[in-house]
Structure 1
Amino acid sequence: SMSFSVEERGRDNTADYRLYFSKCHKGKYISPFHDIPIYADENIFHAVVEVPRWTNAKMEIATKDPLNPLKQDLKKGNLRYVSNVFPHKGYIWNYGAIPQTWEDPGHRDGDTGCCGDNDPIDVCDIGSKICSRGEVLRVKVLGTLALIDEGETDWKVIVINVEDPEAEDFNGLRSKNSFILLF
């Protein structure tokens, strides 16, 4: 399994904050978008955690910055935060992206009728672990959800960390205890 470390620059909750990735030893920086393989194993994907469970800062891979660090998303010049949905604070899962993927803004999706959002494909890890920002997980896919966000197709891939104690019981969006996980 590949090991990665992260290094913070700038202050949290500012537009200057960046989280850089390196492989194995400090000083050799990599891009979480281009340099982490899409596959960890056969049918197992890598996922980069952008927003850990129960946190609010809407972090994302900066696809246009050199080395593609994580940074907080801005909308109309303001830092973006995820709304709380009572009784929870922030995201109810670890939210992130699959490296080396891209939703093509020039391709109209046959299912949604909309074009891609120009970002890596999003993942929602429903495992029990509360991850840290920048953590790289090995995940298996349980299902997908197509959202349309401001007229763009935005796929969410529902995954579980293969190291989760429940992972082998989940294959698709039902468990062997047959309750539906999300909806």
Structure 2
Amino acid sequence: MSSFTSEERAAPFTLEYRVFLKNEKGQYVSPFHDIPIYADKVRYPCFEPHCVIATKDPLNPIKQDVKKGKLRYVANLFPYKGYIWNYGAIPQTWEDPGHSDKHTGCSGDNDPIDVCEIGSKVCARGEIIRVKVLGILAMIDEGETDWKVIAISVDDPDAANYNDLAEQFV
């Protein structure tokens, strides 16, 4: 498997903050376009819930999420700070704003498909991990379909115990 490293620029929690990814040759790559995705080895770049992939910036770095010109944060859920899972997106995917989903009746949110990784390790921002998909949820956010893939890292000690979302709630 290819290895990737990350390079942070500017101070975290600012409008200028960016995380760029590099491949094993030290070349800058896009987490949106250049990370290979395989059906049997789903990989995705992790980023904290207050960050997103800058789909309009060159090389699509990870950046601080902004809404209406202001930095956007996820509210803390005691005792956790932010989400209680790792958050990221599946590279080379896109939720089409021109397509109305037959299940939700809403169009896509114009972003890559989100991943919520529920393993025990807290991932570093920009880290690329392999996951086992457990299920998927279709959420409606501000009138747009926003798919969430629920997964667990293949390297998590409990990965063998989780195979499907349904079996966890029966």
> TM above 0.5, one fold?
yes
Q: Deviations over 1:49-73 (max 9, x none)?
A: 011xxxxx61011011000000001
How many angstroms does 1:88 deviate by? 2.3
Match of 2:43 among 20, 28, 46: 46
Return the TM-score normalized by structure 1: 0.89
1:103 corresponds in structure 2 to 95
Q: Give 3-state SS (helix, strand or coil) of 2:151's partner.
A: strand
Matches within 5 A, 1:129-140: 129-140=121-132
Cα RMSD of the aligned pairs, angstroms, is 1.5
What pairs with 1:1-183 in structure 2 (closer than 5 Å)? 1-26=1-26, 28-39=27-38, 42-51=39-48, 58-173=50-165, 179-180=168-169
Question: How far off is 1:86 after superposition?
Answer: 2.7
Secondary structure, counterpart of 1:84 in structure 2: coil
Q: Deviations over 1:94-136 (max 9, x none)?
A: 0000000000000100110000000000000001111000000
Structure 2 spans left out of the alignment, 5+ residues:
none
Instruction: Tell me how far apart the structure 1 counterparts of residues 169 and 31 of structure 2 sit (CA, whole Å).
Output: 32
1:174 positional shift: 5.2
Q: Deviations over 1:69-90 (max 9, x none)?
A: 0000111111010011233221
Q: In structure 1, list runs of 5 or more residues that go unmatched.
A: 52-56
SS in 2 for 1:95: strand
- Give me the identity figure in percent: 62
For residue 125 of structure 1, what is the amino acid of its counterpart?
E
Q: Report SS of the residue matched to 1:137.
A: strand
Shift of the alpha carbon at 1:47? 1.2
CA–CA distance in 1 between the matches of 2:2 and 2:13? Answer: 29
Aligned AA for 1:180? F
Poorly superposed stretches of 4+, deviation over 4 Å:
none
Q: TM-score, normalised by structure 2?
A: 0.95
SS in 1 for 2:36: coil
